[in-house]
Amino acid sequence: MTQQDLAGKTKTELLALAREKKIKNRSRMTKAELIASLTALTQKTKTTTGTKAPEQPPVQPPEPIYTTGLIQEEQHCTEQIEEKVYELPPYYNETNIALLVRDPYWLYTYWDLDAEIKAQLIKDYGNWDHVPLSLRVRGEQESGGSQPEFFNVPVSTQTNNWYINVQPNRKYAVDLGYYSPAGEFVSLASSNTVTTPRDCISEVIDEEWMIIEEDFRRLYRLAGGDPTAGSVELVESLLKRLEREMGSAAVSSISSPTGRPQQERRFWLVLNTELIVYGATEPDATLSLNGQPVTLRPDGSFTVRLALPDGVQSLPVTARSADGVDQITITPIVSKETR
């Protein structure tokens, strides 16, 4: 192909020819440089086959072109780019708090404080470890209509995240703050609102989502259950698991209303109850419930949730003053009967 033939082609066609001939740096060449390189290669091929070609000046590879923008390369031309790795900073110097749902009974929250607020708190309390940081958890029923409730969770100044024990099917939000010397809660940041999921079997039982008995047993076998167990055995196994999770005999039993051996049925009921013990004393006092220590909040208040099995429960609560001189014991007696 003569130089005149090459001059009649477009730059795209010349690039394709240069790719076939494996000419280096072709993507950086101008049209004139491509024609010169292809012509020189053609003359070299003729010389190799025995035909003497007119002498041509050697073609020097073009100088590299540097630009501050992006260079559009040919499709088959790739460049090695060194990837930079950036580490996340330990904090962002912003006062903020976020709230996430872990499961029906637990929330997870994390926060950050800017340097100015931390410096002011250190100035007010003399030491960062002495700052009474606390989380105020605000909750309400998902369906609404009930009185919103809240409780406080003291947190360490050496951490920036916390797990919070809550109730299922409720809306929650958290305020990060601290207690002033006068005992008032001062909010520094408020979180987003989340809703904990239900802790029960779905109420949707239409035919589109129903599981036939054979599929149910196959899934139960995959989960490690007894493949020979009937419906009653499956429910009893579930109740035993619930008893272990509650840590007490909170789930009573399965009974037949007729007193006769129960047949294979899917209708069943699980019931459990809880008891909430709450109160307040001097913030520097020590408190115990049934011999077990209870942590007081900075204002001296406390809340304890307990599983409530059948029978009579005696729950002595003892408060002892910081100097050990004064002591008060109050013993609520609770009776529960399941029929």
* Residue 289 φ then ψ, to 5°: -120, 115
Question: Once rounded to an integer, what is the mean pLDDT over residues 287-307?
Answer: 87
**Model pLDDT, residue 188:** 93
C-alpha 149/C-alpha 139 separation (Å) is 5
What is the value of pTM for the model shown?
0.39
Query: Which of the pair, 227 or 334, is modelled with greater confidence?
Result: 334
**Model pLDDT, residue 304:** 85
Residue 78: is its pLDDT beyond 60? no
Q: How confident is the model at residue 215 (pLDDT cuts 50, 70, 90)?
A: low
**Model pLDDT, residue 205:** 55
* Long-range contact set of residues 246-255: C-beta below 8 Å, sequence gap at least 24: 246/272, 246/307, 247/307, 248/307, 248/309, 249/309, 249/310, 250/274, 250/307, 250/308, 250/309, 252/310, 252/338
Q: How confident is the model at residue 231 (pLDDT cuts 50, 70, 90)?
A: low
Q: Which two tokens stand for residue 198?
A: 């239900």
Question: Count of CB atoms within 10 A of residue 185's CB?
Answer: 16
**Model pLDDT, residue 199:** 82
Sorted by where each starts, the structural domains of the chain and their CATH numbers stand as 1-86 (no CATH), 96-195 (2.60.40.10), 210-268 (no CATH), 274-336 (2.60.40.10)
Question: Once rounded to an integer, what is the mean pLDDT over residues 166-172?
Answer: 90
Q: What is the percent of the chain where pLDDT is above 90?
A: 24
**Model pLDDT, residue 253:** 41
Query: Which of the pair, 237 or 1, is modelled with greater confidence?
Result: 1
**Model pLDDT, residue 196:** 92
Q: Tell me if 138 sits within 8 A of 172, measured CB to CB.
A: yes
Residue 328: is its pLDDT beyond 90? yes
Question: Once rounded to an integer, what is the mean pLDDT over residues 261-282?
Answer: 74
Query: Which of the pair, 126 or 72, is modelled with greater confidence?
Result: 126
**Model pLDDT, residue 73:** 47
Residue 320 neighbours by CB under 8 Å, 6+ apart: 285, 286, 287, 326, 327
31: left (phi over 0), alpha (psi -120 to 50) or beta: alpha
C-alpha 331/C-alpha 257 separation (Å) is 37
C-alpha 256/C-alpha 59 separation (Å) is 100
**Model pLDDT, residue 258:** 46
Q: Tell me if 111 sits within 8 A of 117, measured CB to CB.
A: no
Q: What is the percent of the chain where pLDDT is above 70?
A: 67
Residues 19-65: pLDDT tens digits?
A: 888 887 777 788 888 888 888 877 776 655 554 545 555 555 555 55
Q: What is the mean pLDDT of the chain?
A: 76
Question: Once rounded to an integer, what is the mean pLDDT over residues 118-127?
Answer: 90
Q: How confident is the model at residue 308 (pLDDT cuts 50, 70, 90)?
A: confident
Among the listed residues 106, 229, 216, 305, the one whose alpha carbon sits nearest the alpha carbon of residue 240: 229
Residue 53 neighbours by CB under 8 Å, 6+ apart: 43, 44, 46, 47
